[in-house]
Amino acid sequence: MTSEQTFVIVGASLAGAKAAETLREEGFDGRLVLIGAEHDRPYERPPLSKDYLRGEVGRENYVHGDGFYADQRIELRLGRTAVGLDTSAGVLTLDDGEELSYDRLLLTTGAEPRRLEIPGAGLDGVHYLRTFGDSDALRERLDRGGALVVVGSGWIGSEVAASARQRGLEVTVIDPVSVPLERVLGPEVGAIYGEIHHDHGVRMLMGTGVEAFEGGGAVERVRTSDGQTLDCDFVVVGVGVQPRTGLGVQAGLAVGDGILVDERLQTSAPGVFAAGDVASHAHPFYAERIRVEHWANALNQGPAAAHSMLGGARVYDRLPYFFSDQYDVGMEYTGFASAWDRVLFRGDPASREFIAFWLAGDRVLAGMNVNVWDVTDPIERLIRERVAVDDRRLADPDVPLEQLSPQGSSR
Ligand SMILES: Cc1cc2nc3c(=O)[nH]c(=O)nc-3n(C[C@H](O)[C@H](O)[C@H](O)COP(=O)(O)OP(=O)(O)OC[C@H]3O[C@@H](n4cnc5c(N)ncnc54)[C@H](O)[C@@H]3O)c2cc1C
């Protein structure tokens, strides 16, 4: 039955490639087309701001080996962009005019960096970071040394700043917030990251924005909103990403902050699904929509969407998880906290080995382990089981996390 069907995936990155893999694993033997605007076969992006950017590793981060797609009879169309979608006819149009009829469609079009629209935004030497090509250009710039200004102290900005310092460059980070990563982690934990960067010699210019880039042809200076002028050799802008919803909007799908999908990752059009950075998902655990811009979400939602494409009824209810590496500080964050009433530490943050918990009342919303490993399962259980925790025991490293969760203690 399925052997006569055509399934099409738009977006050949982590979510799309994992979905294609799962479709074959689950026995889909019809025509399977994976379309990607980039010219590289699907790859993972985390190394692009870390060891790949620093030149410590080569292109080892492809999702699958070279022969995988041919072996699996996955028609990989690289350098092709889907430009039109008619969901009532079930037809997708590519940029070369080809029309593809599909029985099921998955949109894994991801996200793209938000661009700054300020004077000098088009000068040479103003970099953004999303693709292999972006990372290669930046890596070449790091090789030449000099002074870098990083605009934005979120994950990308913080990781690029760390990598550039590790390569010995002079680095200034600018952001209107008061501490790096404040929007996600809040002031207490953001301040710890501020100290880490400070200790590594990064100049943190917080509480001010960027007014303009100046220079003759290439950027030479950054003018801040509080009137300072910073000389630089190049700039990296990391001010967040926006979901690539264009195809969904054009097709009349329900779109908000991302393409809206239900608990099974189906869009407002039957037979059309979305996953990864682009999907605004009705999350059953949170009973609200969330859009997660992280590696593990793409890794897991791709396969979950594939199951739904095959008619599966399973809902996607994994808790968000992400990681970051800066200098010798590695962390994992589990859960989702947009508002909390306090942050509690297990271990001394000054030692850079600790767990931070975000709480509302006696419930844990999220936990972040920093240079402490193998604790994401018990942290996830505390959140998922909505365990009522005692602050003193939660903060005490001598009380195993498993003992705080009724389920965990019996395992
Ligand atoms: C530098 C960097 C470092 C990161 N580090 C971390 C990290 O440490 N930890 C973490 O958890 N996450 C990290 N992430 C985030 C993680 O990489 C993303 O969440 C993940 O890539 C999302 O995968 P995706 O498949 O949903 O979309 P994307 O990776 O954005 O891929 C979407 C693909 O679809 C293609 N596309 C879009 N529109 C079309 C169209 N119309 N036709 C054809 N193709 C199209 C795009 O060209 C792109 O290749 C990092 C991201 C970057 C950029």
Q: 54-71 pLDDT, tens per residue?
A: 999 999 999 999 999 999
The residue assigned the tokens 């040479």 is 124
First to last CA, the chain: 43
What is the structure's pLDDT at 405? Answer: 82
Q: Using the atom order of ligand 1, give the atom closest to the CA of residue 130.
A: 53
The answer to whether residues 289 and 283 touch, using CB atoms and an 8 Å cutoff, is: yes
CA distance linking residue 145 with residue 142, whole number of Å: 5
Q: Is 45 in the pocket of ligand 1 (CB under 6 A)?
A: yes
Quote the longest CA-to-CA distance of the chain: 67
The predicted model gives 248-263 an average pLDDT of: 98
Please give the distance of CA 282 from its chain centroid, rounded to a whole number: 18
CA distance linking residue 152 with residue 184, whole number of Å: 13
Structure tokens at 317: 């209810």
What is the structure's pLDDT at 216? Answer: 96
Interval between CA 346 and ligand 1 midpoint (Å): 33
315-324 pLDDT, tens per residue?
A: 999 999 999 9
The predicted model gives 264-278 an average pLDDT of: 98
The answer to whether residues 221 and 172 touch, using CB atoms and an 8 Å cutoff, is: no
Q: Is 293 in the pocket of ligand 1 (CB under 6 A)?
A: yes
Q: Does position 407 have pLDDT exceeding 70, yes or no? A: no
Please give the distance of CA 407 from its chain centroid, rounded to a whole number: 31
- How many other C-beta atoms lie within 10 A of the C-beta of residue 287? 7
Interval between CA 54 and ligand 1 midpoint (Å): 20
Q: What is the pTM of this model?
A: 0.97
Q: H or E stretch including 92?
A: strand 91-94
By residue count, the chain amounts to 411
Interval between CA 350 and ligand 1 midpoint (Å): 33
Q: Does position 152 have pLDDT exceeding 60, yes or no? A: yes
Interval between CA 168 and ligand 1 midpoint (Å): 28
Given ligand 1 and candidates 45, 135, 160, which is best to mutate, with the most ligand atoms within 8 Å of its CB? 45
The predicted model gives 285-312 an average pLDDT of: 98
Phi, psi of 238 (to 5 degrees): -135, 80
pLDDT band, residue 409 (cuts 50/70/90)? very low
Q: Does position 2 have pLDDT exceeding 70, yes or no? A: no
Q: Does position 411 have pLDDT exceeding 60, yes or no? A: no
Q: Look at ligand 1, atom 16, and give the residue with the nearest C-alpha.
A: 295
- How many other C-beta atoms lie within 10 A of the C-beta of residue 101? 12
Q: Output the average pLDDT for the chain.
A: 97
- Whole-Å CA distances, 342 to 135, 347, 365, 397: 37, 16, 10, 18
What percentage of the chain exceeds 70 in pLDDT? 98
What is the structure's pLDDT at 410? Answer: 40
Q: Using the atom order of ligand 1, give the atom closest to the CA of residue 301.
A: 26
Q: Which residues contact 71 (CB under 8 A, 6 or more apart)?
A: none
Given ligand 1 and candidates 184, 255, 295, which is best to mutate, with the most ligand atoms within 8 Å of its CB? 295
Interval between CA 42 and ligand 1 midpoint (Å): 10
- Whole-Å CA distances, 364 to 145, 325, 361, 392: 44, 24, 8, 13
Q: Does position 408 have pLDDT exceeding 60, yes or no? A: no
Phi, psi of 231 (to 5 degrees): -75, 145
The answer to whether residues 94 and 12 touch, using CB atoms and an 8 Å cutoff, is: no
194-232 pLDDT, tens per residue?
A: 999 999 999 999 999 999 999 999 999 999 999 999 999
Interval between CA 17 and ligand 1 midpoint (Å): 11
